[in-house]
Structure 1
Amino acid sequence: MSAQENLVGGWTPYHELTPKDQEVFKQALEGFVGVHYTPELVSSQVVNGTNYRYKAEATQPGSPNSWQAIVEIYAPINGKPHITQIIRI
């Protein structure tokens, strides 16, 4: 871990997803319907747990259109990660 990743409250620069980042995203979007999000990059912030901001490509089933979105997820120290906000960009 870099010094920046250890800094409580500071966001890391966006970077490629690690297997752990991918697992958090998968758990938080389990059962999510309507729009499909494919994570491309992630930034994280250590708090009481970890906040994640995923830059993702969004698509709707049956539509050729796609757009970019920020999917914000909170992963508590104990418990399942969950979506806190999705912002279309």
Structure 2
Amino acid sequence: MAEGMMGAWSEYHKLSPEDQKVFDEGMEGFTGVGYSPVAVATQVVNGENYSFFCNATLVSVGEEHFPAMVDMYKKPSEKAEITKINQLEY
């Protein structure tokens, strides 16, 4: 599907300052695991879906590291919210 088309996912790419702002907003108040986004894909719907590929660190148990996907949704003029977090197998 063509990037920018309603409903189509973009390719994963480096975060723009706006992508980082959405990520930071959605993670506000989230504790226990630190997520550092590496890349993001977006999908324009009635708002925008974000799929962030992250390096994660479990801070409460010996700083275990693992890859994870953090999905968020942001409605226009509203705060971003986490819709799903998946630890990836490697």
Settle same-fold status: TM greater than 0.5: yes
Amino acid corresponding to residue 8 of structure 1 in structure 2? M
Q: How much is the aligned-residue C-alpha RMSD, in angstroms?
A: 1.4
> Segments of 4+ in structure 1 off by > 6 A?
none
Contact in 1 for aligned 2:13/2:39 (Cα 8 Å): yes
Unpaired runs of 5+ residues, structure 1, are none
2-structure distance, mates of 1:34, 1:24: 20
Partner of 1:75: 74
Partner of 1:4: 2
Alignment of 1:5-84 (within 5 A): 5-62=3-60, 63-84=62-83
TM-superposed CA distance for 1:6, in Å, is: 1.9
Partner of 1:87: 86
Amino acid corresponding to residue 15 of structure 2 in structure 1? L
1-structure distance, mates of 2:58, 2:29: 15
Compute the TM-score of the two structures, normalised by the length of structure 1. Answer: 0.92
TM-superposed CA distance for 1:52, in Å, is: 0.2
Unpaired runs of 5+ residues, structure 2, are none
Contact in 2 for aligned 1:35/1:58 (Cα 8 Å): yes
How many residues are matched?
Answer: 87
Identity %: 40
Compute the TM-score of the two structures, normalised by the length of structure 2. Answer: 0.91
TM-superposed CA distance for 1:60, in Å, is: 1.4
